[in-house]
A and B are shown apart, each in its own frame.
Chain A
């Protein structure tokens, strides 16, 4: 117990640093920022695995030790409990007055029974009195055993085996959760994909923007369903001055095609993921994807696409990169800032003042030169490396950057061609999760709760009723109980048993003859 207590407290303390420092799993950008902010501290913490606290060696060691100590505790207890379940309640103690809630009464040995067939008076034995108590205890869920010897009879009863059962279920279910989580981590996967409205996402590995499989995931056997995002509706608060622009609802209307070819109109909302092909598809983000057409000097289209721009603030000031490697006389790289509702003045820089499309504006800074795409190394589509590029339109170039409203066209500097801002689409950022053991985790979690309830609230107690024939012909009846574990109701329970028993063994008319003695 002391070990468990020590490890529990240690676990609580060990969990703290993970909440103080950003974690790679939950907040990778935060970790990167931390590296910049604390260049001295970062390598030390990194080596201590503080950025991955909950998968770190030391944290794992604590909870594994805790679970080993738990197993070491649960196995013998289960064995003991199984024995106890089969065993009879123990022999009645000789001296009941040392037990909880002890009380004793004297009842006469000769009773006027109100049953005509047995005549007017009958002697009764201690055994009969104890039998009555046995009946009461048995019907209130006690396991009972009676002991008989000349002149004295007793019943020993025990109840509340469920308490220990619940306790064991609770601890075993904890192990179950750990196991299920571990297995789920090995066989589950998480993938992200940004889908512009009108686009279709097919669930195969190549279509993911990022994909984190568990150790045992076979990426060739992903369920080949597809999801087409037909539209994405976002509602913003407009009337409440305190919350203007706060999102009220995101709904993605999609056409989902299951592997067997059935197409179905479905919706994905923030709290309502789409369950398809053994995976859950979540709508975790959204943003704007301006549609831009670029023509060469002759007027031929060299690029036309909706490019997802990443939101930079809550009013969806968004930034994105368009790369034109082919079709023009030079390679072009464009950094665009899209504002759904451009502020009237530039006093605060190019920002948006409302997330809805009230005054959409696209501002482009254009670079030409080597995009670095030709040597085959992977390059992020959301970043532009400007080292080998020259700004040809923008703040540091001779021509100013281009500001476009939907439908407008502007000429690229140097007669390269033209750029047209055709309009804006929305994109949805979909997360696809597969977790084969989450149902098991839920089942174990319910067991934890159930086990906890029974183990803390079912009282485990022993009860005894003993009847001793006295030399004067009377019978002394003793009642007592023993709490096993926390049991505030023991006294009351012995009281209730005694009252019930006496009502049974004392016919109404003889009530006054029972003299209570409390030892």
Chain B
């Protein structure tokens, strides 16, 4: 029965992954479509003709769409619906994994990746209710796709029972909040990257140099992006602080001390300090704008490093990746 459940879960997960993948294939052309659209706009305004190379990669459907002069929002809408659909499949797959394991589905790296990417998409969809961040879609789904791809190739493990150290309600609290925090950091990261691209473009416009990446014209200004990134990142920072504290309480229960400079603890601390620096940078003259955005990018790289490298290659008490050692 266990094996049956495993097969079923693997199947469901594959479905979820394909759902996400389909989403991205639809989403990427949408960005391309927008690029093409802005290129056409630039042409109309007397700018240099561009986009021929990108055009060749556009699928027939999208090409038609653009040529018929329909608004690009159709493909955007399709992408968004697909993302939502992928999210639903992903959610079902993740829940099934939890059911098959008889516990929360985030006890090893594979499950953490699954749930983590799920929450990234979830947060992305949620934030979209309040702010229209759909322009981030290609970045977010792209990021999720890469993470899921790595996870599927490298991190897959079958369902195994929880080691005693993880049998605690803190697994639910500490890891869940860490995942949500990571998701907010991911969106903040995407916003910061777009902000950096955008401010580069704005500088180019100012200096009258030719611009690359014309699709940025359709996106908000660097300042707006910076404010959005800041707001996303402070939410993440608070969640991260909570993760740190909850982790310390759990460590006190499980290992007998709340802080022991375990490698994972160190990296969580480093991330916390980097983002604390980011928040301070926003209030420091000369550090607003691109410099603080770079800090956010460094911060998110540290988050990814903490997850992808520290878990697998560093020796420490948080060795719950489930990968063979």
The judgment on whether A and B are partners is: yes
Question: B281 an interface residue at 8 Å Cβ cutoff?
Answer: yes
Enumerate chain B residues within 8 angstroms of A271, measured Cβ to Cβ: 164-165, 167-168, 170, 250, 253-254
With A12-B277, A452-B238 in contact, is A240–B261 under 8 Å at CB? no
CB distance from B306 to the nearest CB of A (A): 10
How many positions in chain A have a CB within 8 Å of any CB in the partner chain? 57
Contact of A452 among B241, B253, B310 (CB under 8 A): B241
Which of the 9-residue segments B42-50, B54-62, B268-276 touches chain A? Answer: B268-276
Residue of A nearest to B325 (CB): A314
Residue of B nearest to A282 (CB): B256
A433 to B310, CA, bound (A): 28
Question: B13 an interface residue at 8 Å Cβ cutoff?
Answer: no
| Docked-complex contact A449 and B284, CB < 8 angstroms | no
Question: B2 an interface residue at 8 Å Cβ cutoff?
Answer: yes
Question: B8 an interface residue at 8 Å Cβ cutoff?
Answer: no
Question: B149 an interface residue at 8 Å Cβ cutoff?
Answer: no
A181 to B260, CA, bound (A): 12
Enumerate chain A residues within 8 angstroms of B258, measured Cβ to Cβ: 438, 441
| Docked-complex contact B284 and A190, CB < 8 angstroms | no
CB distance from B149 to the nearest CB of A (A): 23
| Docked-complex contact A486 and B230, CB < 8 angstroms | yes
Question: B287 an interface residue at 8 Å Cβ cutoff?
Answer: yes
Interface positions, chain A 441-475, Cβ under 8 Å from B, are 441-442, 445-446, 448-449, 452-453, 456
Enumerate chain B residues within 8 angstroms of A273, measured Cβ to Cβ: 253, 256
| Docked-complex contact B270 and A240, CB < 8 angstroms | no
Question: A287 an interface residue at 8 Å Cβ cutoff?
Answer: no
Question: A237 an interface residue at 8 Å Cβ cutoff?
Answer: yes
Residue of A nearest to B254 (CB): A271
Question: A54 an interface residue at 8 Å Cβ cutoff?
Answer: yes
Residue of B nearest to A9 (CB): B277
Interface centre among A25, A269, A270, A431 (most CB of B within 10 A): A270
Enumerate chain A residues within 8 angstroms of B307, measured Cβ to Cβ: none
| Docked-complex contact B270 and A9, CB < 8 angstroms | no
Question: B252 an interface residue at 8 Å Cβ cutoff?
Answer: yes
| Docked-complex contact B273 and A12, CB < 8 angstroms | yes
With A442-B249, A449-B245 in contact, is A5–B277 under 8 Å at CB? yes
With A9-B277, A271-B167, A448-B245 in contact, is A243–B161 under 8 Å at CB? yes
With A190-B256, A249-B167, A282-B255 in contact, is A19–B266 under 8 Å at CB? yes
Enumerate chain B residues within 8 angstroms of A26, measured Cβ to Cβ: 260-262, 316-317
| Docked-complex contact A270 and B242, CB < 8 angstroms | no
Enumerate chain A residues within 8 angstroms of B257, measured Cβ to Cβ: 190, 433, 435
With A240-B160, A442-B249 in contact, is A1–B284 under 8 Å at CB? yes
Residue of A nearest to B228 (CB): A488
Enumerate chain B residues within 8 angstroms of A1, measured Cβ to Cβ: 280, 283-285
Enumerate chain A residues within 8 angstroms of B170, measured Cβ to Cβ: 271
CB distance from A271 to the nearest CB of B (A): 4
Enumerate chain B residues within 8 angstroms of A243, measured Cβ to Cβ: 160-161
Question: A328 an interface residue at 8 Å Cβ cutoff?
Answer: no
Enumerate chain A residues within 8 angstroms of B287, measured Cβ to Cβ: 2, 5
How many positions in chain B have a CB within 8 Å of any CB in the partner chain? 58
Enumerate chain B residues within 8 angstroms of A442, measured Cβ to Cβ: 249
| Docked-complex contact A438 and B159, CB < 8 angstroms | no
Enumerate chain A residues within 8 angstroms of B284, measured Cβ to Cβ: 1-2, 5
A91 to B161, CA, bound (A): 67
Question: B158 an interface residue at 8 Å Cβ cutoff?
Answer: yes
A332 to B306, CA, bound (A): 51
A431 to B252, CA, bound (A): 12
| Docked-complex contact B161 and A240, CB < 8 angstroms | yes
Interface positions, chain A 408-463, Cβ under 8 Å from B, are 431, 433, 435, 438, 441-442, 445-446, 448-449, 452-453, 456
Question: B259 an interface residue at 8 Å Cβ cutoff?
Answer: yes
| Docked-complex contact A15 and B165, CB < 8 angstroms | no
A12 to B302, CA, bound (A): 10
| Docked-complex contact A12 and B280, CB < 8 angstroms | no
Residue of A nearest to B281 (CB): A5
Question: B203 an interface residue at 8 Å Cβ cutoff?
Answer: no
Enumerate chain A residues within 8 angstroms of B164, measured Cβ to Cβ: 247-250, 269-271
Question: A44 an interface residue at 8 Å Cβ cutoff?
Answer: no
Question: A123 an interface residue at 8 Å Cβ cutoff?
Answer: no
A270 to B166, CA, bound (A): 9
| Docked-complex contact A449 and B238, CB < 8 angstroms | yes
With A19-B266, A242-B160, A273-B253 in contact, is A488–B260 under 8 Å at CB? no
Interface positions, chain A 229-273, Cβ under 8 Å from B, are 237, 239-243, 246-250, 269-273
| Docked-complex contact B230 and A242, CB < 8 angstroms | no
Question: A356 an interface residue at 8 Å Cβ cutoff?
Answer: no
Chain A 264-289 near chain B by CB (<8 Å), digits 1 or 0: 00000111110000001010100000
CB distance from A214 to the nearest CB of B (A): 13
| Docked-complex contact A239 and B2, CB < 8 angstroms | yes
Chain B 215-258 near chain A by CB (<8 Å), digits 1 or 0: 00000000000010011001001100110010011101111111
Question: A4 an interface residue at 8 Å Cβ cutoff?
Answer: yes
Question: B69 an interface residue at 8 Å Cβ cutoff?
Answer: no
| Docked-complex contact B274 and A9, CB < 8 angstroms | yes
With A9-B277, A237-B161, A243-B160 in contact, is A22–B315 under 8 Å at CB? yes
Residue of B nearest to A55 (CB): B261
Interface centre among A9, A18, A446, A448 (most CB of B within 10 A): A9
Question: A23 an interface residue at 8 Å Cβ cutoff?
Answer: yes
Contact of B314 among A19, A25, A272 (CB under 8 A): A19
Contact of A488 among B227, B245, B259 (CB under 8 A): B227
Question: B320 an interface residue at 8 Å Cβ cutoff?
Answer: no
Residue of B nearest to A63 (CB): B273
Residue of A nearest to B260 (CB): A26
| Docked-complex contact A15 and B273, CB < 8 angstroms | yes
Residue of B nearest to A235 (CB): B164
Question: B163 an interface residue at 8 Å Cβ cutoff?
Answer: yes
Question: A11 an interface residue at 8 Å Cβ cutoff?
Answer: yes
Q: List 20 A-B contacts (CB under 8 A).
A: A1-B285, A8-B273, A8-B277, A8-B280, A9-B273, A11-B273, A12-B270, A19-B314, A54-B261, A237-B161, A240-B161, A271-B170, A280-B256, A433-B256, A446-B245, A448-B241, A448-B245, A449-B245, A456-B238, A488-B231
* A-to-B contact residues, CB < 8 Å: 1-2, 4-5, 8-9, 11-12, 15-16, 18-20, 22-23, 25-27, 30, 53-54, 181, 190, 237, 239-243, 246-250, 269-273, 280, 282, 284, 431, 433, 435, 438, 441-442, 445-446, 448-449, 452-453, 456, 486, 488
